[in-house]
Amino acid sequence: MTDLSKTVRLQLSSEARISALTPTEVLTSDDGTQKFIFHLEDDKAIESVLIPDEERLTLCLSTQVGCTLDCTFCLTGRMGLLRNLKAHEIVGQVLAVQRRLPPEIRLTNLVLMGMGEPLANADAVEEAVRRLTNQPWGVGLSPRRITLSTAGLASRLKRVSAMGVNLAISLNATTNEQRNRLMPAVSKAYPLLALMKACRAFPLKPHRRLTFEYVLLRGENDSEQDATRLVKLVRGMRCKVNLIPFNEFPGSPFRRPADGTVLRFQSIVTKSGIDAYIRKSKGRDILGACGQLGTLPESAPLIPIPQHCSTA
Ligand code: SAH
């Protein structure tokens, strides 16, 4: 950088360094989804998933190594938190994947839905979003094309609105009792009512809506009563519901509902006037779908299967 003075160059060379993430492994699914495994400088591994879908090319980013939370249906949740990612490690996933694509192909959307709970690492996520969205000096992506998904850290939703990105909330249950069982840590910190109150207070920009994600677990939260309660919880909000039939992983304690159950659930929600979509779970064959990211050490004890859970 000869346009900088020699003194500044000297100072930079002693204080700063330029590095990049390089995937150590790339797995490609039959459906075109790709999972990128990156090893960080301390050798910890994170994963990003590239999801081509019609005219969209979405990258799903990790925000933590492991996760602060302990949702029982999520593989990452079982790893515990190894550490938070730094802003450059979040941005680095985008740059590394974009660099591998042919120049005419650009990422169109980013989802902060990979490993980790983004709002448990809000400072780094905020800084990463700033770098990804800044026009003059950043990557220049529109915040409208970025979605942050949270398990429900209600008091931090304000930070999402300040970032200007879309908000998705992983609801996954319709009673406190059910949510305590499925998502113990976050549910104890923010009971359902507090979470829904914060969602209703979220300042939505014109033409935007909230997304409620709902993982469907066979015999756990997939009944008609659940669907009716879900409708009651979100009624009157500008929102849509994304239904995610459970993606199994080795040792997972839950099962995916039958297709008919998923369709019946969807139709109860849509009949009430709320848009509900069934998320196509892509990349399941490479453990690249929702809830399948991460690894457990060989010796890790599996969380025991809850008593009430059918494993048939
Ligand atoms: N911590 C954030 C983002 C990561 S999880 C959050 O909870 O929103 C991204 C989505 O995958 C969430 O909606 C979560 O509920 C869902 N999910 C987790 N495990 C899953 C699994 N095994 N099958 C299907 N969806 C799962």
Per annotation, catalytic residue among 74, 290, 298, 309: 290
Can you tell me the distance from the alpha carbon of 149 to that of 47, in angstroms, rounded to the nearest whole number? 16
CA 34 to chain centre: 16
Can you tell me the distance from the alpha carbon of 174 to that of 158, in angstroms, rounded to the nearest whole number? 23
- Ligand 1 centre to CA of 62 (Å) is 12
Which amino acid is residue 41, in one-letter code? Answer: E
Alpha carbon separation from 177 to 31, 188, 196, 309 (Å, rounded): 37, 10, 15, 14
- Measured by CA distance, the residue closest to atom 18 of ligand 1 is 291
Mean pLDDT of 279-300: 80
Under CATH, which number does the domain 20-286 receive?
3.20.20.70
> Which of 295 and 118 is assigned the larger pLDDT?
118
Q: Taking 50 as the threshold, does the pLDDT of residue 288 lie above it?
A: yes
User: How confident is the model at residue 125, as a pLDDT?
Assistant: 98
SS (H, E, C) 60-84: ECCCEEECCCCCCCCCHHHHCEEEE
User: How confident is the model at residue 152, as a pLDDT?
Assistant: 98
52-89 core/surface letters (b: 16 or more CB in 10 A; e: else)? eeeeebbbbbbbbbbbbbbbbbbbbbbbebbebbbbeb
Mean pLDDT of 97-118: 97
User: How confident is the model at residue 302, as a pLDDT?
Assistant: 47
User: How confident is the model at residue 307, as a pLDDT?
Assistant: 39
Q: Taking 90 as the threshold, does the pLDDT of residue 224 lie above it?
A: yes
Q: Taking 60 as the threshold, does the pLDDT of residue 305 lie above it?
A: no
**40-93, pLDDT tens digit by residue?**
999 999 999 999 998 999 999 999 999 999 999 999 999 999 999 999 999 999
Mean pLDDT of 165-187: 98
- Ligand 1 centre to CA of 291 (Å) is 5
User: How confident is the model at residue 297, as a pLDDT?
Assistant: 63
Q: What is the pTM of this model?
A: 0.93
CB-defined site of ligand 1, < 6 Å: 73-74, 113, 117, 149-151, 170, 172, 213, 215, 244, 246-247, 290-291
User: How confident is the model at residue 294, as a pLDDT?
Assistant: 87
- φ, ψ for residue 291 (rounded to 5)? 80, 0
Nearest to 289 by CA among 71, 33, 21, 20: 33
Q: How many residues are given for the chain? A: 312
User: How confident is the model at residue 298, as a pLDDT?
Assistant: 58
Can you tell me the distance from the alpha carbon of 92 to that of 29, in angstroms, rounded to the nearest whole number? 23
